[in-house]
Structure 1
Amino acid sequence: MTHQPQTVKRKIGLALLGSGLLLGALQFAAPWVQAAEETDAAQRLKETSNYTVTSAPVEPLHLPTPTLPDLSGYTLEAVNAKIERNVKGRVVVRRMLQQDALKDFIGGDERLREWVTRQGGMPHAIFIEDGYVTPADLARALPDNQFSEVEPGVYLARLPIVVAQGATLHVDPQTTDLRLSQERGAFLVNDGKLFITSTRLTAWRETDNAPATFREGKEFRPFLVSWGGSELYIASSVVTSLGYDNSKSYGVSITQYTPGMHERLQRAEPTGWLIDSEFVDHWYGFYCYEAQNVVIKGNTYRDNIVYGIDPHDRSHGLIIAENTVHGTKQKHGIIISREVDDSWIINNKSYDNKLSGIVIDRNSVRNLIAYNEVYQNHSDGITLYESSHNLLWGNQVLNNKRHGIRVRNSVDIKLYENVSAANGLTGVYGHIKDLSDTDRNFDLDPFDAKISMIVVGGTLAANGSSPLSIDSPLSVELYRVQLLAPSKSTGISFAGILGEKQEEILDLMVRRDLAVLIDPVESQAELQD
């Protein structure tokens, strides 16, 4: 599917004209619903108790426009100002064995055998220590069979490179391209400070004299990992073809050490900025684990394999802003998963990804998802799975193949001023699901089959199945939601619990312009008790 932002915006513009008229000229994905999903929802409706519809006070529903982080300081100039060049570093080659920064990659016979085979003997790595080093410095210090300048400004690493604590590697603008040899098993480990500015970093297939483009998941490709206590800065650069399906080897990663290593080393949470750069053909475009205050701003992530942007376990304070993410081949464009909290996903474009455009997953809470354009994805637009207490504000969710916004097993979800239009199924779909028969680890990823949400403002237009469908909620509040351009000839049609109470809801919300509260009879009885 091609990128057609103007076409999509023209369609939504048509849908928003008028006050609920059918607009035959609007084109969108043909409606389709899986029978199993409909049957499952119908069964849950039979099992739920009665719900009542009442008007709700408006004042508690008013929220101020969210305050966004100031992005003006995240620039190439600010990155350059962080580089300390005064002390020249030292370059040495050592065996990979018994090195803390490399233990995750040589543990077990299989991984050690990988480097022995590629290097033709006991594996070694290049270590940068005690100060500032550039690729030109590496080329002067090392023989050509380990690191060489193959063309003016183009360098080929044929061993892994480790930036030690207290050291800085700067892949600088005088470097046209730093290439990591796939055949020789090169990769890049940052245990200190790594700067990549106004240049290129490429996984390189020497036999093809070309980038090591993806062939299959288990095939080794060079990667970059930045460990606990480190800082990684990539600015105004192009990074290509990194990563494969192996632990901490996914592409560009900022990650705390594994639990056993972290218990011994006690390194601080890693951090970094990735700004105004392009990331292409990686196993994961970006991955982080137990990282803090990482800034991912103004980048393009295209044609990556599994995910575009994937912050994971217990990372927090992240800014994911002004990125364009598209063409992810296997899963989602942007996903945060497993207790990724107190972060901002703002002003991004995520489109034409294999599954959802943006996903908030596995108990990730207190995040702001705002002003994103999420369209033409092959599954949902924005998906929240088992992640309560999140705010979605001012997003445009258009022409996705399944639901516009899907919320599962999550409470206190606030949807404010969003536009969800021309999606194949439902504009906003809320549901519960029992995950006990899955392979989920419930110690790591507990869940409650509960859902509640507030939907205020915004527009639901021309979605294939219905504007809203919510089943078995603890409560739902609706206020000032525009319902335009229904796709069905019968007009606006809710589904789930809302379908049962449609006339009452429309009377209060549309005809009388009041806030609507839908909640089960039991909750009202509990309040009276």
Structure 2
Amino acid sequence: MDLHRAFWQRSGTSLALVAGLFWATAGQAGETAAPSEFAEAKRQAYQVSSIPADSLLLPAPKLPDLSPYTPEAVYAKLVRKPVGSVVVKRMLQQNPLIEFTGGDERLREWLKRQGEMPQVVFIEGGYVTPADLTRSLPEKYFRETEPGVYLARLPIVVSQGATLHIGKETKDFRLSSERGVFLINDGKLFITDTRLTAWREAENQQDWFKKKGRFRPFLNSWGGTETYIVNSVVSSLGYTASKSYGVSISQYSPAMHPIMQRSPPSGWLLNTMFDDMWYGFYCYEAYDVVLRGNTYRNNLVYGIDPHDRSRRLIIAENTAYGTVQKHGIIVSREVNDSWIFNNRSYENHLSGIVVDRSSVNNVLANNEVYRNKSDGITIYESGNNLLWANKAFNNGRHGIRVRNSSNVGLYENLAAANGLLGIYGHVKDLNGTDRDLQLDPFDMNLSLTVVGGRLIGNGSGAISVVTPQSVKLYRLEMLMPTKPTGIGMFGALADGKNQIIDLLVRQKKAVLVLPLDKLAQLQE
């Protein structure tokens, strides 16, 4: 990740200072943007200066080559021999299922739905298709209801060393909600050119979401597995229980991982529609997952949600819209060294894209985020991230929002016609909230580098940065103010606005805004 190292090296503070002492009072400007957050900041002295522009310049990020990640490459990974076997076993005391049977409440779910000691279909020893399942199982467990349409009435586990391939010969692979069916991959799973659907037998229809907490079928792939979903439609999976969110790629739980000793799971999800899911996608401690060219439509909580300690993810060319409760795309809790680019995220209930909870060393590039009810792009407690040439427009709150995050680079971004600010950086004290501070610590540090890009016609002003450790600006265009007072620059930029504009626009210099107390420390 040489690009990130270059950014960090260039983010050090310069002492080539040129006059300009002023006071910035957070409450005096931008109150229409976020009164409670501005009120947190204390009155602090800042100094405006010019610095060498070369110190801020970066080449455009070299984005990952997507050409290896194609349906053809997935088909080439299929190994159809040897033919596997299909057996029915009791659900209890099976390592891949302990997450789902370890508590009395979850075990009761399967007892109630199966009406007997819960059983599971295991695929073992090789390659199996839905047609093979039909030949191997009685109709009460699995059947072809019409040509190419299959109904699973027991949970299915793909064992280590086995492969399940649901391919184009299958029109729809249906998982019975009444029978408590789910699909666990502990080996290799291929879903290609087909449909995977949660199904209500009583109504003979897709199991559309109706009530939080009600069981719906789900797919989970454990540590050491490979999952490939290509050119397909996946619908109505997932509910609130752990690892049951919809489509999940997850390392084994901390209790099971020492027993199983499996490597991080991975997978490619390509050109597929995910709709009416509890989560469109979730992963946990997964590496090298590729999400390319998918559509996440009308999912309940999140469209895309990589989580804890996942690394080297590629999230590219996806569309996420209509998320009912939260964000279109979010990475959270130490999701590092990843790439989010060329995506569209719009009309979601909260933000378009979020980077959250100590997720560092990520690149967000060339994304379009618009008509989201909250921010376009939100960075929370996650430093050392680069935002390059993103477009955030017509969002309900801020175009780009950065909180409690250091060394965040905003390069060549467009923020236009957002309800509040084009760019809003601030600190926030999270003590006293419901945040678990041991699991998710934070520092009230903020530093931004804003180079290039345009801030156009945003409702409360162009940019506000409240209580930063430093702000660096260069080649930033601020056009079409919506208020007669002119370009809106608030927080630490407020009192020095005229000098900043003179340096940026007339002199075409780079600008450094630095707290006076920090300047004094650097000069000692």
Q: What range is the shorter-chain TM-score in?
A: over 0.9
CA RMSD of aligned residues (A): 1.2
| 1:139-197 deviation line (CA, Å, top 9, x unaligned) | 01001110000000000000000000000000011011100000001110000000000
Identify the residue that residue 48 of structure 2 maps to in structure 1: 53
1:307 aligned residue: 302
Counterpart mapping for 1:73-152 below 5 A: 73-152=68-147
Cα distance in 2 for residues equivalent to 1:483 and 1:525: 31
Q: Deviations over 1:370-392 (max 9, x none)?
A: 00000000000000000000000
Distance in structure 2 (CA, Å) of the matches to 1:276 and 1:462: 35
Partner of 2:38: 41
Counterpart of 2:377, as a letter, is I
Q: Which residue of structure 2 aligns with residue 458 of structure 1?
A: 453
State the TM-score, normalized to the length of structure 1. Answer: 0.93
Of 411, 416, 419, which residue of structure 1 is paired with 2:411?
A: 416
1:211 aligns with 2:199: no
Distance in 2, matches of 1:43 and 1:99, equals 52
Q: 1:141–1:61: structure 2 CA closer, same or farther, 3 Å change rule?
A: same
Secondary structure of 2:493's aligned partner: helix
- Compute the displacement of 1:525 (Å): 1.1
Q: How does 1:157-306 map to 2 (within 5 A)?
A: 157-306=152-301
Corresponding letter in the other structure for 1:158: R
Partner SS state of residue 44, structure 2: coil
Shift of residue 208 of structure 1?
1.1
Aligned 1:474-489 pairs, distance under 5 A: 474-489=469-484
| CA distances 1:39-97 after superposition (whole Å, capped 9, x unpaired) | 541452xx232100000111111101100000011111100100110200000000000
Residue of 383, 405, 410 corresponding to 2:400: 405
**Is residue 478–residue 487 contact of structure 2 (8 Å, CA) maintained in 1?**
yes
Please list every run of 5 or more consecutive structure 2 residues that lacks an aligned counterpart in the other structure: 1-29
Provide, for residues 332-390 of structure 1, a one-character-per-residue CA deviation record: whole Å limited to 9, x for no partner.
Answer: 00000000000000000000000000000000000000000000000000000000000
Secondary structure, aligned partner of 1:260: coil
What is the match of residue 24 of structure 1?
A: none
Task: Return the alpha-carbon distance in structure 1 between the equivalents of residues 51 and 439 of structure 2.
Answer: 37
Measure how far apart 1:37 and its partner are: 3.0
| Kept in 1: contact 2:32–2:420 (CA 8 A) | no
Would the alpha carbon gap of residues 315 and 461 (structure 1) be closer, same or farther in structure 2, given more than 3 Å must change? same
Residue pair 2:148, 2:171 contacting (<8 A) in 1 also: yes
Q: 1:39 to 1:260 in 2, by over 3 A?
A: closer
- Alpha-carbon separation, structure 2, partners of 1:484 and 1:521: 29
CA distance in 2, matches of 1:36, 1:411: 22
With normalisation by structure 2, the TM-score equals: 0.93
Q: Which amino acid is 1:218 matched to?
A: G
Measured at CA, do residues 117 and 42 of structure 1 come closer, stay the same or move farther in structure 2, by a change above 3 Å? closer
What is the CA-CA distance between 1:522 and the residue it aligns to? 1.4
Residue 421 of structure 2 corresponds to which residue in structure 1? 426
Q: Where does residue 59 of structure 2 map in the other structure? A: 64
Q: How many residues align?
A: 496
The 1:140–1:410 alpha-carbon spacing in structure 2 relative to 1, beyond 3 Å, is same
Matches within 5 A, 1:497-516: 497-516=492-511
Q: Unpaired segments of 5 or more residues in structure 1?
A: 1-32
Aligned to 1:326: 321
Deviation at 1:403, TM superposition (A): 0.4
Contact 1:217–1:283 (CA<8 Å) still a contact in 2? no
Deviations 1:473-510 (A, max 9, x none): 00000000011111112221211111121111111111
For the residue of structure 2 that corresponds to 1:178, the secondary structure is strand
Runs of at least 4 residues off by over 6 Å: 33-36
Amino acid at match of 2:170: T
